[in-house]
Amino acid sequence: MAVTNPDNAPHLRASMILVPIDTPGFNLIRPVPVMGHAGGSGHCEIRYEDCRVPAENLLGLEGAGFMIAQARLGPGRIHHCMRAIGAAERALEMMCQRAITRVAFGGPLAEKQFVQEMIATSRMEIDQARLLVLHAAWKMDTVGKKEARQEISMIKVVAANVCMSVLDRAIQVHGALGVSDDTPLARMWRDLRMLRLADGPDEVHKTVIARRELKRFAS
Ligand SMILES: Cc1cc2nc3c(=O)[nH]c(=O)nc-3n(C[C@H](O)[C@H](O)[C@H](O)COP(=O)(O)OP(=O)(O)OC[C@H]3O[C@@H](n4cnc5c(N)ncnc54)[C@H](O)[C@@H]3O)c2cc1C
């Protein structure tokens, strides 16, 4: 990463250092409760008070923390997308099974056009997202992470949103059962909603996608 003047970007000089949790001054306040999971998502609120660790605990070079964090983001985002698509696929499968077995208003839900529309749209969205993720992964493998940044941002937004849309439709087709905890759908929705935020919210990715797109036309 080229940093012409680090004074203008202090975050680029951040370092990463390992802090054992039994170090004096390390205070684990709480796992942050996330969408009804009181145990939290594994992310904790921590307060450091005069907490000191030896210099050899440094990860990589001093000042390289931002680059280390960035390095994991490309593969990390692809991983998020794979989970999102897997969850969407499971939700669609459940949607179809419920539509076939549930009879309401004189026939199975599968015969209602509104339900068919939800199934068809979900199938189309999932396959579009899957192909886009495959394309981004192929670009990462063939030309590298940096060259694949646009595709990675695109799939991060697309896969997270497709996952939420398909889960929402699956809940709708299940009716009241869908919002109950008797199926995994409500829990999947709660667990995966964070994908539109973690590793960059949709809006930030869309901003950089647009910026790169506009750059192609700037004189
Ligand atoms: C479950 C979970 C796990 C996470 N794990 C990690 C982790 O392991 N490591 C890590 O570093 N971070 C992690 N994050 C943090 C995550 O990356 C941030 O929450 C995310 O980048 C949004 O930052 P913020 O929460 O400070 O919201 P803010 O920056 O306050 O943004 C709030 C909202 O404002 C809007 N917004 C913000 N900036 C812009 C902009 N430039 N243009 C337009 N709109 C904008 C967006 O709608 C955004 O959702 C995690 C978050 C969650 C929910």
Position 157 scores a pLDDT of 97
For residue 16, the tally of other CB atoms under 10 A from its CB is 16
Predicted structure pTM score: 0.88
Residues with CB under 6 A from ligand 1: 34, 41, 43, 194, 197-201, 203-204, 207
- 70 CA to centre of ligand 1 in angstroms: 15
Residues of the chain with confidence (pLDDT) below 70: 1-12, 38-41
Q: State which ligand 1 atom lies nearest to the alpha carbon of 41.
A: 1
- 153 CA to centre of ligand 1 in angstroms: 14
> Taking the domain 6-59, which CATH number applies?
2.40.110.10
- 87 CA to centre of ligand 1 in angstroms: 22
| Residue bearing the CA closest to ligand 1, atom 6 | 198
Position 113 scores a pLDDT of 98
Position 36 scores a pLDDT of 79
- 109 CA to centre of ligand 1 in angstroms: 39
Domain range summary for the chain, segments of one domain joined by +: 6-59, 72-215
CA nearest 122: which of 86, 81, 167, 187? 167
Position 3 scores a pLDDT of 40
Position 8 scores a pLDDT of 56
Q: Which of 203, 206, 207, 209 to mutate to test the pocket of ligand 1 (most atoms within 8 A of CB)?
A: 203
CA nearest 88: which of 60, 52, 124? 124
Which CATH class name applies to 72-215?
mainly alpha
Measure Cα distances from 180 to 26, 39, 52, 163, 188 in Å. 40, 20, 47, 19, 12
| Number of residues written out for the chain | 219
